[in-house]
Amino acid sequence: MEQLVYNTLANKKEVFKTLEPGKVKLYLCGPTVYDYLHIGNFRGPIVFNMIRNWLEFTGYDVTFAYNYTDVDDKIIKKAQAENVDSRVISERYIKAFEEDFNNLKLKPHEFNPKVTDHIDAIIELIEGILKNGKAYEIDGEVFFSINDFETYGGLSKKKLDDLEAGSRVEVDSRKRNPHDFVLWKPSKENEPAWDSPWGKGRPGWHIECSAMVKAIFGDSIDIHGGGIDLIFPHHENEIAQSEACNCTKYCNYWIHNEFISMGDEKMSKSLGNVITANNFMKTYDGEVLKFLYLNAHYRSRLSVTDEKIRQSVSALYRVYSAKNLAEQVIEKIEATAVESKNFSKELKAFEDKISESMHDDFNTAETISVVFEATRLFNSSLTKKRKSVEDKAIAQSYLKFLDSYGQILALFCEDSSSYLDSLDEMILSLNSISKSEVEKLLADRNEARNNKKWEQSDLIRDQLAQLGVEVLDGSAKGWRSKV
């Protein structure tokens, strides 16, 4: 089956073909490390982790680079406000990002390059652009000449006559074209500076990724990713810089994930509706955030609401309950499992549906829907007593299925028992119910049962049920949330 990828450059789905047979060079624009990252900043890492995992699952050898922008106006401004070196700021927030990333339990990248470690590569790239007549230098500042790059605007579909300056582009009368952008600029006093052929200075924003890509992968890559906000001017300028220097196609497939919004509004600090990833994962956890994002197609705009979070928690609860049940079935049946041909046949059909959906531009929303179909099938396929050797085979097949596709999504891989406990507490919190209140009612019920006050015990059980809590008696003592 051919892998289809929606390529922003072509504005359509295309068959994925690699530069080198069996190998994928993947680069994703990473964070500017001047503050704690909000949950929207993690849609890219979650989505492209899935893309890498799927491509590896289908047999590709993927090399994944995800950078840190550790020199930038915002970093410098914060450093000056705190009267510290800019490296103190960048290292602080790289560490904070890595803590959030680790909490998401995503696979590490092969490369996490920093801009400040690639200054020589940046200077070399700029020299190549100047040599090829696509840039010019004025007073120690080097500008890219967009008039000298004929295909400028090809990614964003913008025409030179209609261009508006990008958010980081300042109007400068020295420019040949008002929209020419900076490759190298002189540093001001108390700013980071490096020696260059044009004097002490620092790189412009766009040049960094082109230089890091070239240093790690060479002149061309297979996939370049990022949020849709980077299409113009950042990715447009990356193409211009790299191709102006290297004289070959920079990237074959441009993949962009959509924005997330909080309710009906785009998440922004100015609106005060930013949720940091750290705070989100303290209240919920990384599993919930991953499910929230992957339960929608990466190219669809996603509105994060309390109800969507509640639905994600409930959905995870259903899958982990089935996973826990499967593990219990396997544990209590010592006899050798006997295959259930009907279950295996239907499970194979689900696997085919997942393959089809993932080959169609990484449709994780459809994939997760199939996981729930398989979960419903598993629950309905077990015998009433759940003690047959066929039940054991069904449980084993379901767990293998869940593990296989869970690894691709980085979901459903937690210990089922302890994670159900965690979800129980999340559900109580979402319903504004105190855990201590539940524990007190359970203690009162146990006391009533010990004293054989059965009517009182039943009343407390009903009271807990009204709170959405199911009491577990017998060998599975304790409680679970009703989902």
Where in the chain do CATH 3.40.50.620 domains reside? 4-257
Where in the chain do CATH 1.20.120.640 domains reside? 298-419
269 vs 161: CA distance, rounded Å:
33
- Among candidates 4, 75, 6, which has minimal Cα distance to 228? 6
Measure CA of the first residue to CA of the last residue in the chain; give whole Å: 38
Q: Which contacts of 71-75 are long-range, i.e. CB under 8 A and separated by 24 or more positions?
A: 71/115, 71/116, 71/192, 71/202, 71/203, 72/32, 72/34, 72/205, 74/32, 74/34, 74/35, 75/32, 75/33, 75/34
409 vs 395: CA distance, rounded Å:
21
Work out whether strand 61-66 and strand 23-28 pair parallel, antiparallel, or are unpaired. Answer: parallel
Contact 115, 69 (CB under 8 A): yes
Residue 6 bridge partners (DSSP): 13
Using one digit for the tens of pLDDT, what is the confidence trace for 259-286?
999 877 767 666 667 899 999 999 999 9
Using one digit for the tens of pLDDT, what is the confidence trace for 207-233?
999 999 999 999 999 999 999 999 999
Check residue 447 and report its DSSP letter. H
Residue 96 has pLDDT above 80, yes or no: yes
Residue 167 has pLDDT above 60, yes or no: no
- Among candidates 368, 417, 381, 374, which has minimal Cα distance to 399? 374
- Is 1.20.120.640 the CATH classification of the domain at 298-419? yes
> Which residues, at least 6 apart from 428, have a Cβ–Cβ distance to it below 8 Å?
434, 435, 438, 481
Contact 143, 136 (CB under 8 A): yes
Residue 168 has pLDDT above 90, yes or no: no
| The two three-digit tokens of residue 177, written as one number | 């074209």
Question: Please, which pLDDT band fits residue 417 given cuts at 50, 70 and 90?
Answer: very high
**39-48, 251-260, 473-482: lowest mean pLDDT where?**
473-482
> Which residues, at least 6 apart from 343, have a Cβ–Cβ distance to it below 8 Å?
377, 378, 381, 393, 394, 397
Residue 63 bridge partners (DSSP): 25
Q: Work out the mean pLDDT of the chain and round it to a whole number.
A: 93
Question: Please, which pLDDT band fits residue 166 given cuts at 50, 70 and 90?
Answer: very low
**83-87, 124-128, 305-309: lowest mean pLDDT where?**
305-309
Residue written as token pair 């006050």: 453
**More confident of the two residues 339 and 61:** 61
Superfamily of domain 4-257: HUPs (3.40.50.620)
Contact 66, 51 (CB under 8 A): no
Using one digit for the tens of pLDDT, what is the confidence trace for 359-373?
999 999 999 999 999
Residue 165 has pLDDT above 50, yes or no: no
Stretch 336-361: mean pLDDT: 94
Using one digit for the tens of pLDDT, what is the confidence trace for 10-29?
999 999 999 999 999 999 99
> Which residues, at least 6 apart from 188, have a Cβ–Cβ distance to it below 8 Å?
none
- What is the pTM for the complete model shown? 0.93
Work out whether strand 61-66 and strand 265-266 pair parallel, antiparallel, or are unpaired. Answer: unpaired
394 vs 343: CA distance, rounded Å:
7
What's residue 449's pLDDT?
A: 86
429 vs 197: CA distance, rounded Å:
59
